[in-house]
Amino acid sequence: MLVSFYWLFPLFLFVCGGWVFVSKRKHLLLTLLSLEFMVLSLFLILFIFLNLINCELFFSMVFLTFSVCEGALGLSILVSMIRTHGNDYFQSFSILQC
């Protein structure tokens, strides 16, 4: 019973993050937060999997490093968009502008 909870809870978190990512597409900040939530649930799945097979947790540190880099890149894009357009709405952002 407890082993199935170890797998179902992170999968439920991932599905909830995906649902928020699909439903809240108006603001860039909300989409970035839902993507970070999905990354954290993937880290939890990876951590549980590596513990179950009695493997080293070095790969989880590499995964966290890449997720921090991804978060910093998303935050820099958010700051750049707010400086140029004044808000984080996707409606005001046009790809055709230089």
pLDDT at 1: 61
Mean pLDDT of the chain: 84
If pLDDT is split at 50, 70 and 90, which confidence band does 69 have?
A: very high
Mean pLDDT calculated for residue range 29-58: 89
CATH 1.10.287.3510 assigned to domain 2-85? The reply is yes
Q: Is the pLDDT of residue 96 over 80?
A: no
If pLDDT is split at 50, 70 and 90, which confidence band does 6 have?
A: confident
Taking alpha carbons only, the member of 38, 21, 65 closest to residue 73 is 65
CB 29 within 8 A of CB 88: yes
CB 43 within 8 A of CB 63: yes
**Structural domain spans, the chain:** 2-85
Q: Is the pLDDT of residue 19 over 90?
A: yes
Mean pLDDT calculated for residue range 63-73: 91
At 49, list the tokens: 């999997």
pTM for the complete prediction? 0.81
**What length is written for the chain?**
98
pLDDT at 97: 58
Q: Is the pLDDT of residue 10 over 90?
A: no
pLDDT at 55: 85
